[in-house]
Amino acid sequence: MVNLEETSLERMEALLSHSAMGVHVLFDNRSIAKVLKEVSDDKDFYSFEKMKMVQDVMTALIAKKTYFEKMAYLQALDTESYQMLVRAYFHIVENTVRANHEHSH
């Protein structure tokens, strides 16, 4: 699974790009708000175990070829994995927006 298909990565980049513009295709707004509202401290996010879990879940998500496969995968995740994935996804989106904003100046 380490060698993800280039098209899968391109599809994921497109989803991230849409999210950076405020269009969140993979996650509904209520779930996003709930997960991000519960975060009071990111220290737990950076433990080795959590980072490994996020990496595994994100890799599996990226490997899904279609939108419907991605959605089915997300719906099948346990609560903790889903919440960690949402947090990681939006960290990526936020960092992408920041990087693009800094490059434009």
Q: 46 is written with which tokens? A: 């950076």
Q: 17 is written with which tokens? A: 């790009």
- If one counts every other C-beta atom within 10 angstroms of the C-beta of residue 102, the result is 8
The pLDDT assigned to 4 comes to 57
The pLDDT assigned to 1 comes to 44
Instruction: Identify the helix (H) or strand (E) that includes residue 52.
Output: helix 48-63
The pLDDT assigned to 97 comes to 83
Q: Hey, which bits of 1-92 come out as E strands?
A: none
The pLDDT assigned to 103 comes to 56
The pLDDT assigned to 99 comes to 78
What distance in Å separates the CA atoms of residue 62 and residue 49, rounded to the nearest whole number?
Answer: 20
Residues of the chain short of pLDDT 70, as ranges, are 1-4, 40-42, 44, 101-105
The pLDDT assigned to 40 comes to 62
The pLDDT assigned to 2 comes to 46
The pLDDT assigned to 18 comes to 77
